[in-house]
Structure 1
Amino acid sequence: MTGWTWEYESYLPEQERVREALCTLGNGCFATRGALPECTADDVHYPGTYAAGCYDRLTSAVAGRRVENEDLVNLPNWLPLRYRLTGRPWLTPDTGTVLDHRQTLHLSSGLLERRTLYGIGQGRTLCVRQRRLVHMADPHLAALRTEFTAEGFTGGLEVQAALDGGVTNDGVPRYRDLDGRHLTHVHTGSAARNLVWLRCRTRTSDIRIALAARLTAGAPVAARHVFPRAVQRVRLRLPPGRTVTVDKTVALHSSRDPAISDPLRAAVDRVGDAPGFDELLRSHRTAWEQLWRRAELEVPGDAGRILRLHLFHVLQTLSPHTADLDVGVPARGLHGEAYRGHVFWDELFVLPYLDLHFPEVSRALLCYRHRRLERACASARALGRRGALYPWQSGSDGREETQELHLNPRSGRWLPDHSRLQHHVGSAIAYNVWQYCQASGDTEFLHTKGAEMMLQIARFWADSAAYDGRLRRYRIRGVVGPDEYHDAYPGARRPGIDDNAYTNVTAAWVLARALTVLRALPEPRRRELLERTELHDEELRQWEDVSRTLHVPFHDGLISQFDGYGDLAELDWDGYREQYGDIRRLDRILEAEGDTVNRYQASKQADVLMLGYLFSPRELRSLFVRLGYDLSEKAWRRTVDHYLCRTSHGSTLSGLVHGWVLARARRGEAWTFCQEALRGDIADVQGGTTEEGIHLGAMAGTLDLVQRGLPGLETRGEALWLDPVPLPELSSYTFALRYRGHWGVRLRLERGALEIIVPSSDRCPVDVRLRDRTVCIQPGETSRLILTR
């Protein structure tokens, strides 16, 4: 890697799928994996194209049960372009003699470049160079330029390009028992001499999809249609030492797109009017230059290069184009089929970054949740509760998409899946509403959609809490915390655990914050909201009571992950590491042994320590004081130490959270965990998961570590609060923010000094608050502050 490129040398089939995921190109509306265009889906390659929010639901027979699953649909493949010399087989790196192979991802311009040198025999070579883009300015266009250069011979070349509608969702081996045939009614045709089209529908959601492709090669193009493909062919003459170019331009539309009447007509018109590759590349580069300016991030060394790659993939999944869509945050980006493209709680790690760069995107992602508020209220009613219960996994319409069974690949057994009991996803949504409004100053959203969501989530927590006369406290029972490993007590017949500390503390925060928002509403709006939701004073008094008396369990002077956690057995961590090596998925190992992780003090990922991720030390202490507990610095440090050595880090989010918490506590081990988070996808530390899609939450979280974690940046009380943490490995860095109407507020931390530049504008001054002083910076001014320890 260099500062702005990500490069792979040589062709290694065993690494191809990871490369495809990391070389995905997208624009926030759709994305295409970095697969080689001449290769079809098999055990080595997996081309895939995914449009944000394009889901389909199918029913499969699994383990003797009928199981319904909704997937992010693998759309018709627009990439296919294969080639062969006259009289020879089609060339691919798997069948030809590869003398050299290089794949380069240009981050600055969103361009994927590939160069392969084939040996043809007798000292003759054929060089194939390709450049690919998924257009960032026009979110419906993509283009592929292929250049062929013959050395040492003259010959004929046949090129065949296609649109392929015969694709399925088959990219994740453990899902292959499920029906993945989502496309139906595939039709193809020609619209002009060099233009073909393909249209189809999804089987259940009935989304109409259309692609149109234009092939330009300086020679006559012939079209034919072999179900389910639209195929174009061109025959070229290769003179020695001269380059012959073939351009393929594609348009993609669906019936979910605004301002169109028919996807097929829209796609045909768009690709017919599209300029040539060079002009497309120019406008594409301009769009990327603008994105990079808004998301400026300068960190030295390898860490900075990895962070730039992470930022690149965040921007490809959630670009300004996303603001026009009804979509959430897909946990694995638009890069693969893991988690079936579902929306979990990963926005908790993504939106805080977007809030300070692309607030319009954050607002749109929160509107996705608001549109599904009624469905969340219906889910709560189904449990006999008031308020809103958001699903752990969400897709098209906001119903619970979490599977009821999951496969343990180690044992081959299908097991009950209880992760839908992670009701804390509602707290994550409320937290993001508040953070967005604090960063953007968007009081209109807070007073309308934001308040509606926060009040209904708070109402669910209050109605879920049952009073325990013995403890004189409220308790929340039968849930699963962020840990995920502990979904029941040992030997219990029913799933769920009681008084998960993270769940209860965040529920208390939601209740308190919702009351604050309600009190601050303009009186007419408050009355309107109370009438609509039938909220009465008696219920609000209960909220206040619950928010102050929710039970938080402790054992041995530290916070218990849940009630009874301290009674669980200790695991022989060293023994399991010696036996298995990688024990990140400890739950699968123990289940294959006939045991269960429910018996042990062992966590998949940060759970209690997530509290230190969401809340600054000051805010966390005040939360516990409000609940009637004294959380001293010593008790928190002991809590951190306890879980530090009892976590297997089976999630890429875990290292990020641990690094963040340790950095805020000024602990020397912080960098080890930060590195783990940085390396998560590029090194595929989870062992085979990156190829199924990048981990978007972890990628965005590493960016936010530099943006908020290390500077100790908070947006509250109409001010920027900063409490920088000295981390020797990241001692200097620069980033820009969009804060309350100020575009491009620039912060630079280096050698104990903080420089803040506020660009000229007609906005109000920016109040900056440090531990020991307050500074008011006028637009157009630069302030350089010496930091005290």
Structure 2
Amino acid sequence: MAQSGTETCHPAAQARPDPWLFAHEGFDPALEGRRETLFAVGNGYFVTRGAAAEARADDLHYPGTYLAGAYNRLTTLIDGRPIENEDLVNLPNWLPLTFRIDEGEWFDLRRVEILGYQLTLDLRRGLYLRTLRVRDALGRETSLAERRFVHMDAKHLAGQHVTITSENWSGRLTVRAMLDGDVANTGVPRYKAFASRNLRVCDAAAIAPSSMLLQVETTQSKLRLAQAARIEVSVRGLDVAVDKRPIKEAARVGYDVILDVTPGVSTEIEKIIALYTSRDRAIADPETAARTAIVRAEGFDALLQTHERAWGNLWERTDLDLLDVAGDEADETHLAVRLHLFHLLQTASSHSMELDAGIPARGWHGEGYRGHIFWDELFIFPLLSLHLPILARALLLYRYRRLDEARWAARQAGFRGAMYPWQSGSDGREETDVMYFNPRSGNWIKDDTHLQRHVGAAVAYNVWQYYQATGDAEFLYSFGAELMFEIARFWASIAQWNEARGRYDIRGIIGPDEFHDGYPDRDAPGLDNNAYTNVMAAWCVTRALDLFELLPKERCQELCRDLRIEQEELVHWEHVSCKLYLPFHHDGILSQFEGYEALQEFDWNAYRHKYPNIMRLDLILEAENDTPNRYKLSKQADVLMLFYVFSAEELAELFERLGYAFDPGTIPRTIDYYLRRSSHGSTLSAIVHAWVLARSCRQRSWSLFTEALQSDISDVQGGTTREGIHLGAMAGTIDLLQRCFTGLELRGEELHFHPALPDELRRLAFRLRYRQHSLSVDITQDALTLSSDPSGAEPISIAVGDRHVVLRPGDRTSLTLVRPS
């Protein structure tokens, strides 16, 4: 899929490739880091990268296992200055399983001739498979087949099954299976200057006859973790003597299993592991729980059956049942979409509901962005709210539980309300790096991206979208309203009255385009009146005021008393929501921020000719002693985010409230203006631009959608996928299919559809949850068919253009569509 000759469908699929099997043929060291991320397996509780079983962390491989929300804080002296960072912790590696023949070297792919090699990720079953054949320097040929899962039902368990076959040799086979606690956070090269040892090994013990235990603790957060493993060895069809010898080192423990083999003999090694921590519920302690679990756990194949059943249930609720793309006979599009959905479900599952963890921008798949939570959840929650609403509810509570920290941050900055951090980790404080490293110039650069205050608007938007999708008034009553009130209070507080223009300004912030973090002639960081931020602020305050009509009077009074919201403050909120300033170009195009129009035009042709990849123009320009702050350019959609978040009708209402004329005719001009000035330096860029072009230029929209599908599969940023997936982009591609191309909107008490399928998309079918209904949606170029499973839910109202239909549980309706010109 990614590059010719590297990504293929499984050879077992003959006439038509199987859109459930993501496969890679051949071993290419240059692609190994990317593969380890893309072939990761997990269950929302923990995720394990798809590293080879025999691999240790080096310049080629990076095994990693990450527990959702497991962070640790370390301090490093950089140029004599203490720099503190909180990182998602790389946990002990449970995968180590290797072999050697006689007294030879331990198996290393780099030291043998590779006769065959294939990696396959069976998405339907949640199963990692690796097969290989090799020939060593003495001509001995060996084949190896590995299966691996992280159990989707029993969240503490994982399984590994390896078959080693001696094809043409006899001799002594030694298999080494271990738990390895000698690990560090070294998966991101640009972080190499920082301290990386997050774990202290507490205990490593071999437990007779063939089990092992490893206990560690994080150095600062004091999270205690126990891994226990059980190994079983058999020789297919034979009764062979097996010698098991325990191995115990300071940070590693395991067994050497020794046996004699002859040509054609297959040795099977099964390894079942259990992982528990001190934050788990209903356990006495992690060690006891882990040891008990591996005693009680069934064998690999029995566990695989229950694991597959759990995945089957998940796919039933979330899969795109039909994705018929013209000219895509290999179902490459459907396979890529399923891969994206697979990784989303591994990051956030039902197991996430018991955890106090958010949705990290890079999944739990690696150490990119230190495992932090950003605004990327804006691209993820709409999908969760329409498929797994109870999970969306639980994940929104991550933000609610950090409301006090956001209040404190606002007070420290001189504001009221709640100011959420750009990067969040364990406790909700600001985790954005103070400095970042530019590998092009070798310079450390001050990082001001914490000024992206629009992250709070994303939190409020996700709360509102969840309520619109579910009608969950109790969540709004107990949690959501307080969040939205405090976010609205922040926006009303940061807005400053400008007497000269008779409007409110929001100054000293950064918008979604991180390339612009200040003015070229001003020392202080930040920009004034970023259009996206100001419109979102007006929306937040307006929705907060709407809550007084939605919530019971007693709850509104209670919240006003508890939060000390007086009538005078509400009057101020109303005034701010109607009088925020929006900057415009002289020709009526909305300016990205005040002063943007006065910046220099950028010589795109010269830089495209000079550099093979200009996605990160900020790094290129800094290395040239220049800055993006001088130019009309952007990393990603900024103004255009407004057309992603809001429909034209919603924007018209907001502009009218703000006292600005809104001409829908300016939308295509605005899109064209900013699209021509974007370097697409973020994987989210193609998502937003595909969305905003879906009505005006469907062919270009589809092209950008297919580009977005390749963000991680092809590693379009040139090496960042090895550090973790880009979860916002993955969820965004699915959302493009299910909300954008279908015109699905949550507006008031009605579910709206306004389909405009690209010509390439002939048919689309999927399921979703809306207001307690389980709906099946089937859309072609000519018709929309909706059906609701029988249930006790109340009837819902569906709008398709100017047609309105009441849908009751058990109903099915089909409406003819008129294709847009």
TM range (shorter): over 0.9
Secondary structure, in 3 states, of the residue corresponding to 1:211?
strand
Q: CA deviation at 1:152?
A: 2.4
Aligned residue in 2 for 1:436:
466
Aligned residue in 2 for 1:675:
706
Which AA in structure 2 matches 1:561? Q
1:572 aligns with 2:596: no
One of 716, 721, 734 as aligned partner of 1:703: 734
Whether the aligned pair in 2 keeps the contact of 1:731 and 1:750 (CA below 8 Å) is yes
Which AA in structure 2 matches 1:203? T
Deviations 1:504-561 (A, max 9, x none): 0000000000000133211111111010000011000110110011001001210000
Aligned residue in 2 for 1:788:
818
Whether the aligned pair in 2 keeps the contact of 1:191 and 1:268 (CA below 8 Å) is no
Which AA in structure 2 matches 1:200? V
Whole-Å separation in 2 of the counterparts to 1:523 and 1:621: 30
Whole-Å separation in 2 of the counterparts to 1:441 and 1:236: 63
1:98 aligns with 2:152: no
What is the percentage of aligned positions where both structures have the same residue? 50
1:73-88 aligned at under 5 Å gives the runs 73-88=89-104
Whole-Å separation in 2 of the counterparts to 1:229 and 1:381: 47
1:299 aligns with 2:299: no
Aligned residue in 2 for 1:174:
190
Whether the aligned pair in 2 keeps the contact of 1:353 and 1:700 (CA below 8 Å) is yes
Which AA in structure 2 matches 1:240? P
Deviations 1:572-606 (A, max 9, x none): 00000000121000000000000000000010000
1:284 aligns with 2:307: yes
Whole-Å separation in 2 of the counterparts to 1:189 and 1:195: 9
1:621 aligns with 2:652: yes
Whether the aligned pair in 1 keeps the contact of 2:176 and 2:255 (CA below 8 Å) is yes
Whole-Å separation in 2 of the counterparts to 1:778 and 1:640: 40
Q: Pick closer, same or farther for the CA change 1:575–1:507 going to 2, 3 Å.
A: same
Aligned residue in 1 for 2:262:
239
Which AA in structure 2 matches 1:576? Y
Deviations 1:14-65 (A, max 9, x none): 1100000000000000000000010111110000000000000001112442
Whole-Å separation in 2 of the counterparts to 1:221 and 1:777: 65
1:118-129 aligned at under 5 Å gives the runs 118-120=134-136, 124-129=140-145
Q: CA deviation at 1:341?
A: 0.2
TM-score by length of 1: 0.98
Secondary structure, in 3 states, of the residue corresponding to 1:346?
helix
Whether the aligned pair in 2 keeps the contact of 1:118 and 1:125 (CA below 8 Å) is yes
Whole-Å separation in 2 of the counterparts to 1:669 and 1:405: 37
Q: CA deviation at 1:766?
A: 3.0
One of 532, 538, 555 as aligned partner of 1:502: 532
Secondary structure, in 3 states, of the residue corresponding to 2:665?
helix
Deviations 1:316-360 (A, max 9, x none): 001111111100011000111000000001110001000011111
Secondary structure, in 3 states, of the residue corresponding to 1:190?
strand
Aligned residue in 1 for 2:416:
386
1:593-604 aligned at under 5 Å gives the runs 593-604=624-635
Q: CA deviation at 1:124?
A: 4.3
Secondary structure, in 3 states, of the residue corresponding to 2:797?
strand
One of 551, 554, 559 as aligned partner of 2:584: 554
Which AA in structure 2 matches 1:433? V
1:733 aligns with 2:768: no
One of 98, 119, 135 as aligned partner of 2:151: 135
Aligned residue in 2 for 1:345:
375
Aligned residue in 1 for 2:553:
523
Secondary structure, in 3 states, of the residue corresponding to 1:56?
strand
Whole-Å separation in 2 of the counterparts to 1:387 and 1:554: 29
Greater CA drift, 296-305 or 95-104? 296-305
Whole-Å separation in 1 of the counterparts to 2:202 and 2:718: 36
Which AA in structure 2 matches 1:264? E
Deviations 1:709-734 (A, max 9, x none): 11111123222110111311223111
1:609 aligns with 2:640: yes
Aligned residue in 1 for 2:170:
154
Which AA in structure 2 matches 1:294? R
Whether the aligned pair in 2 keeps the contact of 1:451 and 1:518 (CA below 8 Å) is no
Whole-Å separation in 2 of the counterparts to 1:121 and 1:609: 59
1:397-412 aligned at under 5 Å gives the runs 397-412=427-442
Aligned residue in 2 for 1:112:
128
Q: CA deviation at 1:221?
A: 2.8
1:637 aligns with 2:653: no
Which AA in structure 2 matches 1:690? T
1:54 aligns with 2:85: no
Whether the aligned pair in 2 keeps the contact of 1:508 and 1:546 (CA below 8 Å) is yes
Whole-Å separation in 2 of the counterparts to 1:259 and 1:103: 38
Whole-Å separation in 2 of the counterparts to 1:668 and 1:337: 36
Secondary structure, in 3 states, of the residue corresponding to 2:111?
coil
Deviations 1:364-396 (A, max 9, x none): 111000000000000000011110000000000
1:321 aligns with 2:351: yes
1:655 aligns with 2:718: no
Deviations 1:62-84 (A, max 9, x none): 24421100000000110101101
Whole-Å separation in 1 of the counterparts to 2:544 and 2:178: 54
Aligned residue in 2 for 1:252:
275
Aligned residue in 2 for 1:452:
482
Secondary structure, in 3 states, of the residue corresponding to 1:284?
helix
Which AA in structure 2 matches 1:34? G
Whether the aligned pair in 1 keeps the contact of 2:206 and 2:254 (CA below 8 Å) is no
One of 791, 798, 804 as aligned partner of 1:774: 804
Whole-Å separation in 1 of the counterparts to 2:25 and 2:698: 38
1:213 aligns with 2:229: yes
Whole-Å separation in 1 of the counterparts to 2:796 and 2:244: 60
Which AA in structure 1 matches 2:129? E
Whole-Å separation in 2 of the counterparts to 1:374 and 1:731: 49
Whole-Å separation in 2 of the counterparts to 1:509 and 1:140: 42
Whether the aligned pair in 1 keeps the contact of 2:112 and 2:137 (CA below 8 Å) is no
Whole-Å separation in 1 of the counterparts to 2:450 and 2:733: 27
Secondary structure, in 3 states, of the residue corresponding to 2:735?
helix
Q: Pick closer, same or farther for the CA change 1:666–1:725 going to 2, 3 Å.
A: farther
Q: CA deviation at 1:667?
A: 4.4
Q: Pick closer, same or farther for the CA change 1:644–1:99 going to 2, 3 Å.
A: same
Whether the aligned pair in 2 keeps the contact of 1:56 and 1:182 (CA below 8 Å) is yes
Which AA in structure 2 matches 1:720? L
Which AA in structure 1 matches 2:299? G
Deviations 1:438-484 (A, max 9, x none): 11111100112100000000000000000111111001000000001
Whole-Å separation in 2 of the counterparts to 1:213 and 1:554: 63
How many residues end up aligned between the 2 structures? 788
1:684 aligns with 2:715: yes
Whether the aligned pair in 2 keeps the contact of 1:664 and 1:709 (CA below 8 Å) is no
Whether the aligned pair in 2 keeps the contact of 1:329 and 1:347 (CA below 8 Å) is yes
Q: CA deviation at 1:116?
A: 1.0
1:20 aligns with 2:36: yes
Deviations 1:413-457 (A, max 9, x none): 001000000000000000000000111111100112100000000
